[in-house]
Amino acid sequence: MINSDVLPTPGGSGAPLRIAFLLIPQFSMMAFSAAIEPLRSANRMSERHLFDWRLVSVDGGEVAASNGIGIAAHESLAKLRKTDMLIVCAGLEPAQFGRSHGMHRHLRRLARSGSMIGAISSGSFILADAGLLAGRRCTVHWEYADLFRARHPTLEVSRELYVVDRGVFTCSGGTAALDMMLHFVSEASAPGVAVAVAEQFIHPQIRRREDHQRLEPNPSRSIGSPKLKEIIRLMEGTTAKPPDMRQLADCVGLSARQVERLFREHLRTSPKAFYLNLRLSRARALLRQTINPVIGIALECGFGSTSHFYHAYKREFGVSPTQDRRRSGTSGSSGKTKPRASIAARDSRQRTGDPVRRLASIT
């Protein structure tokens, strides 16, 4: 397997850099477009054939994006023999290929042959299931982070936009794919080309890979209290076994009354209400992203009984957990048939100390 993060330089031998996009059903069209369009623009802005790309699917057939639009592939993954880089593009239903041993085998085959292997959005699940992220840092879209950590607890998951680690890369998705590809364009050609591409897309600042996906920390983005930010981080890491406020307060050297005052002053809510909302939000994400039983999700989010979970969930979201799961579905549709406008594919071818561990040490 390739261990280098340095791309081959196109143009030296006259051959462009070959990139294959593996489209997974329900992939994100936004992230896919943000990844492939910089390649086209780089060829145009440099007036050189820097990049070739091909579209690949598991079976070689058309693949529907999460918006219902079908994209035709050039070939199947099994027929792909040589490429400098392969990017797994996924989106909704992140765990749908958890046991796709054939696909995983072909990804490992390409990695052994020297291809850089990467993933966008929930494509990180596929690389992890294939064993390609073992011992490496990685990232995934923030919406799937809890599910990803639960499924792969030994992996080091970052909140960065994208991560490149010894020939394997992962990207959180969305417009972060544009920043990642501009990084690769800069490496494969010159920084000036990447800047020209960014300007072409009215992208005034190329974000660094270490930039976070969301404002930090998300629930307390405007909070000026480091103590309160630390408490929220502790809460986020202990949703399965919620400690009481005194334990949380001890972790940051405050009294329970001081913690209560901080929440009232900065967030206009109580610590208890904030914590409950945090756990319910995680439960909702798990309900919509997994087929785990409701009782299992309730326990994972710190609810001692399904009755308590059902009442709290309905009070917060207006529907029961089972109704919410049924309504949202796994495809994100309301049950109606989605329009599928087939588009022919063209032949051109993102650690500090663990707060949970510190909390556990005092409980």
Secondary structure (H, E, C), the chain: CCCCCCCCCCCCCCCCEEEEEEECCCECHHHHHHHHHHHHHHHHHHCCCCEEEEEEECCCCCEEECCCCEECCCEEHHHCCCCCEEEEECECCCCCCCCCHHHHHHHHHHHHCCCEEEEECCHHHHHHHCCCCCCCEEECCHHHHHHHHHHCCCCEEECECEEEECCEEEECCCCHHHHHHHHHHHHHCCHHHHHHHHHHCCCCCCCCCCCECCCCCHHHCCCCCHHHHHHHHHHHCCCCCCCCHHHHHHHCCCCHHHHHHHHHHHHCCCHHHHHHHHHHHHHHHHHHHCCCCHHHHHHHCCCCCHHHHHHHHHHHHCCCHHHHHHHHCCCCCCCCCCCCCCECCCCCCCCCCCHHHHHHCCC
Spatial separation of the C-alpha atoms in residues 263 and 270, rounded to whole Å: 6
Contact present, 135 and 127 (Cβ < 8 Å): no
What fold is seen in the domain 218-328?
Arc Repressor Mutant, subunit A (1.10.10)
pTM (2 decimals)?
0.65
Where along the chain do its domains lie? Answer: 17-200, 218-328
Q: What is the pLDDT of residues 63-86, one digit of tens each?
A: 999 999 999 999 999 999 889 999
Q: State the pLDDT at residue 211.
A: 66
What is the separation, in whole angstroms, between the first and last Cα of the chain? Answer: 43
Q: Please name the fold of domain 17-200.
A: Rossmann fold (3.40.50)
Positions in the chain whose pLDDT score sits under 70: 1-14, 97-100, 209-224, 328-363
Distances (CA, A) of 6 to 20, 220, 301: 17, 37, 41
pLDDT at residue 335, rounded to an integer: 35
pLDDT number for residue 162: 93
- pLDDT at residue 356, as a whole number: 34
